[in-house]
Structure 1
């Protein structure tokens, strides 16, 4: 045998290499037998890794869907250990809020599951191909630090959105004040909260920029009604009328369905030269209904004061041109 023939001679199978022996018996080709590990074993292993990864991901997603699905109006299993701040009296709105909250948290868990499962599968495939993972992991770590530093605001918004969802700070339909903007929440995302104020302006607020949240729609609200009277008015008579009209209005439509407790007349709140004597009363009402109740009570109380002859405060410096 010549030197050229020796240089192209395929290596013999290693002892105990079943794949090599099997391929050699089936094909009779020594080169295919010696390459069986790369041609057969490794591709099959990689395919098996991918299949197992997809099965695990599918099972995990189905489990997350099951945990975030509400059946028969019940609380989704994923939300049961978490605290809920929304009032039970909201009914349908509360169910929609739970569904949205569970869906958003579930989407986060699905994304995390996909990244973890396919990331581990990718590393296993590289190891199967004989790639040294140490430099790869080091490079990935450096790249992750660089991306995290460049996108730190996005990461901050995302994490703030996750904690906001878990803590149930607010939801769709809540009336909130986040500092620069206030209004009704129309959409809640992991990065952006969408709000619409009383003028109809839509505000897009980054979750990472929200330092405090004032929620007027959790549990209950308090309708505060301030009614001014003049210095010459009978405070006792005005207070009696205030309590009687407020109690009557709270027991009848359209205010009755929003009132949770009887009105409480607090009496004189303040005295000033411009506003006269200010009487105050409060009513505990359903969340988000305090402004409608205030408007209704104020209108009826002012009408009752006018019928009883109770004068309002006199504005100093006002000149009526018709009498001039």
Structure 2
């Protein structure tokens, strides 16, 4: 009975006494030593909480980076999976994957670190003797106030996270997002930066992107609705376009940008002014505009040579002596047209 009373005096009542104080008292039988051990144990526990939290955060960050790297290298998650029928990765695709991987890794690492340190903070306060329930109530009230003021930032953050995880678009892609369109120059968790064809930079908060069109995802398509003179036989018009499609596939400079044989889909529209015939060509990403320009130039030459005039083009005979029309090639600009929404 005397021993129990002394233990209570040294370490407090049952259910409140620390295990270090009780172990020290049972080991030495000294009330003073038990009190000193309990006093010293508090800062030791606090330091231990911080050390464990720091080590856990470091380990988790390494595991997140390693897991995502492994998933990327082994093509196991949709965020990094290469889709489509392009036979090999281009420099642009490699850049997109690396940028997406880096941003997503940092985001998940930061989320994991915040969770770990929040939990460590609660344990830290508990070791100091604070009532956790009271602390949670106060934090909840503060969180509500902060959440109301920062709800758009939170929305932007999760919007950016899903953009990266779902691989909706990446750096170098040409996209349309609302009223803005252009080439993606950078993506963060909060904002996406575009540059249009006139050089204007658009900053778009990720949380405001309700829908987005990607003009360079996996593959692209050059679509030409060619208008011929209304007197032209549709079969002759189709033959001209088929010939141009076959011709461009024999040119190594252009066939390397085309992933499938050009297709003539036929007559799209007929009226008193023209006959419209559609030609479509599947290309590698971002090359559809350059291919379309080259096709327009070749169609013009082929139509004149075959005496199958385009709408508004004077009817002439085949190219040759006495005919001033001569074949030409389209100029090849250094950068693809349409990077910011040109059709």
TM-score (normalised: structure 1): 0.82
Distance 1:314 1:13 in 2: 105
Distance 1:12 1:133 in 2: 26
Structure 2 unaligned segments of length 5 or more: list them: 1-7, 13-20, 314-343
Return closer, same or farther for 1:237/1:42 CA change in 2, 3 Å cut-off: same
How far the C-alpha of 1:50 sits from its partner, in A, is 1.1
Distance 2:269 2:10 in 1: 100
Structure 1 unaligned segments of length 5 or more: list them: 1-10, 316-324
- Partner residue, 2:145: 146
Distance 1:110 1:23 in 2: 46
TM-score (normalised: structure 2): 0.77
The SS at the match of 2:224 is strand
Is residue 77 of structure 2 the alignment partner of residue 81 of structure 1? yes
How far the C-alpha of 1:192 sits from its partner, in A, is 0.5
Question: Structure 1 stretches (4+) deviating beyond 6 angstroms?
Answer: 20-25
- Partner residue, 1:3: none
How far the C-alpha of 1:95 sits from its partner, in A, is 2.5
Return closer, same or farther for 1:114/1:314 CA change in 2, 3 Å cut-off: closer
Aligned positions of 1:1-324 closer than 5 A: 13=10, 17-19=22-24, 34-38=35-39, 40-69=40-69, 75-76=72-73, 80-83=76-79, 84=81, 87=84, 88=86, 89-274=88-273, 276-314=274-312
Q: How many residues align?
A: 295
Greater Cα shift, 182-191 or 262-271? 262-271
Alignment check: 8 A CA contact 1:76 1:98 kept: no
How far the C-alpha of 1:22 sits from its partner, in A, is 8.6
Return closer, same or farther for 1:131/1:230 CA change in 2, 3 Å cut-off: same
Alignment check: 8 A CA contact 2:230 2:272 kept: no
Distance 1:127 1:94 in 2: 50
